[in-house]
Amino acid sequence: MALDSHKLSLSAALTADVAYMLCTVFCYFWPQLASDLMASMFHLRSLDMVVTWRSTALGTIQYIVYTYVLVYLWTWLYNVLKRA
C-alpha cells in the first residue's frame, strides 16, 4: 500500500501550523520564558523576539511550506523504497 504523498504532506503541514500558532500564543503571553526556552534549544546567548501579525503570518507560511515539502519528499522516498 502506497502512502498518498499529498494528503500526508498536507496533514503534516497543517499540524505543524497548529503547533506554530500555539507557540505564537505562548511567545505573546510569556515572552521571557519563550525566549529563554528557545535560546537554550538553539544554543543562543540571547533571542530578541517581537511577535507581530506579520511575523506570525510569515512563520505560518514557512511552517506550512517547509513541512509540506519535507513530508512529500519523505513519502515519495518511502513509496520508492517500498517498491524495491
**3-state SS assignment for residue 44:** coil
**Higher per-residue pLDDT: 83 or 39:** 83
Q: Cα 13 from chain centroid?
A: 7
**What's the pLDDT at 2?**
77
Question: What whole-number distance in Å separates Cα of residue 18 and Cα of residue 35?
Answer: 20
Instruction: Name the nearest CA neighbour of 10 among 54, 24, 18.
Output: 18
**What's the pLDDT at 29?**
95
**What's the pLDDT at 25?**
93
pTM flag (> 0.75)? no
Half-sphere exposure at residue 74, Cβ-oriented, CA atoms within 13 angstroms: 11
Half-sphere exposure at residue 48, Cβ-oriented, CA atoms within 13 angstroms: 0
Q: What is the pLDDT of residues 9-19, one digit of tens each?
A: 888 888 888 88
Q: What is the pLDDT of residues 23-69, one digit of tens each?
A: 899 999 999 888 877 766 666 665 666 778 887 888 888 889 989 99
- Each domain of the chain, given as residue ranges in start order, spans 5-83
